[in-house]
Each structure stands twice: as C-alpha cells, then as structure tokens.
Amino acid sequence: MRTLYSYWRSSAAYRVRIALNLKGMDYVIAPVHLVRDGGEQHRDDYRTLNPQQLVPTLVDGGRVLRESLAIIEYLEEAYPATPRLLPRAALACARVRELAQMVACDIHPLGNLRVLQYLQRELGASDEQKLAWSRHWIEAGFDAIETVLASGGHAGKFCEGDTPTLADCCLVPQVYNARRFGVPLARYPTITRIDAACARFDAFQRAAPEAQADANAAA
C-alpha cells in the first residue's frame, strides 16, 4: 500500500492527491499537521523521512519520493498503464510542464507556509501585509497563466486538451489558495472555467482539502 504524508491544506500535497486519484491508485494518508505543536513536519521521525521537513512525501513499496512534481512524474513513469497525466506529443507535454511549473515553481514557493511564517516572525509583517504579499504573487502568476491559456494552442476543456493533466493537478490547488486569500477571480475567465471543469471530476472532489480526514483538526 502506498502512503502519502500529507496536510489537508497543503497545495503541494493536494496536487499529488489529485494525481493519485486520476490514475486510480490506492493509497492511505498519513497526516502531518504543519501548524500544531510548532509543526509535526519538524519531528525527528518525519525529518528522517523528509530532510526538507515539507509535505508531501510518498512511500511506494519502500521507495521514498519527495517533491510533488517529482512524485507525479515518478507515478507517470513507474505505472505507464494508468491514465496519463503527461501527453505523449512533445510540444503538448512541454506546454503541460510549462503551466505546472508556473504554479509549482513560481507562485507556490512565495506563498508557502514557511515563507509566510518568516515574513511575520523575522521581518515583522502584519497579518494584512502577509495577505497582501500572498495576493500579489498569486495575481502576478495568474496574469501570466491566463494569458498563456487564452492565447491559443491549449484548446480543450482543461489546461491541455479534453482530459486532465499534470497542469490541472497544479492549477486547481492554486485556485483554491486564491479563493482562500481573497484574490478576485473574475479577471481570469479561462482559469476559472478550467477549475469548474475539474470540480466535476470525482478525482478532484476526493482530493479537495475539505474532503480530507485531517481537515477536522485545528487549521
């Protein structure tokens, strides 16, 4: 059985939950609370598993995988008989990776919990300043993603074509974060259309933060 170390509101873990569900893979969740008691990710037992002290971590048959994009690409390569999340065509695959990285490499790191905690703890940022920081970087990223998606070459219901891909696995959790931080989404019609299309899929519904067992714990 695969074990996914996850936190209900982690967008990186959310991506992997979506991918596992889309690929029809069985797994169990091992919750890692990122806030309680100073953060369970800092405990010695978890730090041994993941020296970065981040989620997600996937243990698959004794193999330990870290970093959400690396995990998803591992699943794609190790289990080729499952539904594909990366198109076979080189250009389409590059477009999917481009969009995924625009979220995972450019937007997400700036809004990561440890970054926000540093802003507040070490630099004295107020709650309002921390919120403004998060909104700014989400909006900057979404401005670019909306332009890319609306500019042609990405025709279909989803980020690339008519089936969900790695790009959708990354985009949907970031839209969740945008709503959480109060980012106005009306100016992103293509992004919101794709998010709505994904929301109709059981794989996305089961991966949603509120559907996780640890969502009942203190945020």
* Sign, CA torsion 50/54/59/64: negative
Structure tokens at 140: 């900057």
**121-141: per-residue pLDDT in tens?**
999 999 999 999 999 999 999
Tokens read off for 118 = 């540093």
pLDDT score of 152: 76
Give the per-residue pLDDT at 108: 96
Contact 184, 190 (CB under 8 A): no
The tokens for 56 are 């997600």
Total-model pTM: 0.96
C-alpha distance from residue 60 to each of 15, 17, 168, 170, 189 (Å)? 17, 14, 23, 21, 38
Look at residue 46 in the predicted model and tell me its pLDDT: 97
Residue 217 has a pLDDT of: 67
**Coil, strand, or helix at residue 140?**
helix
Nearest-angstrom CA–CA distance, 168 and 100: 8
Q: Long-range CB contacts (< 8 A, 24+ apart) of 103-107?
A: 103/141, 103/145, 103/170, 103/171, 103/174, 104/12, 104/15, 104/68, 104/69, 104/170, 106/141, 107/137, 107/138, 107/140, 107/141, 107/142, 107/174
- For residue 88, give the amino acid letter: R
Structure tokens at 64: 């330990």
The candidate with the shortest Cα–Cα distance to 55, out of 17, 14, 19, 6, is 6
Strands 57-60 and 27-31, bridge-based pairing:
unpaired
Taking only the tens of pLDDT, the chain with its 219 residues reads 899 999 999 999 999 999 999 999 999 999 999 999 999 999 999 999 999 999 999 999 999 999 999 999 999 999 999 999 999 999 999 999 999 999 999 999 999 999 999 999 999 999 999 999 999 999 999 999 999 999 877 779 999 999 999 999 999 999 999 999 999 999 999 999 999 999 999 999 999 999 999 997 655
Amino acid identity at 17: R
Per-residue pLDDT reduced to its tens digit, 100-115: 999 999 999 999 999 9
pLDDT of the residue at 219: 59
Decide: 76 and 85 in contact? Cβ < 8 Å. Answer: yes
Q: Which residues pair with 4 in a beta bridge?
A: 29, 58
Q: What are the structural domains, with CATH classification, of the chain?
A: 2-83 (3.40.30.10), 90-204 (1.20.1050.10)
d(CA 3, CA 30): 7
Place of tokens 């949603």: 208
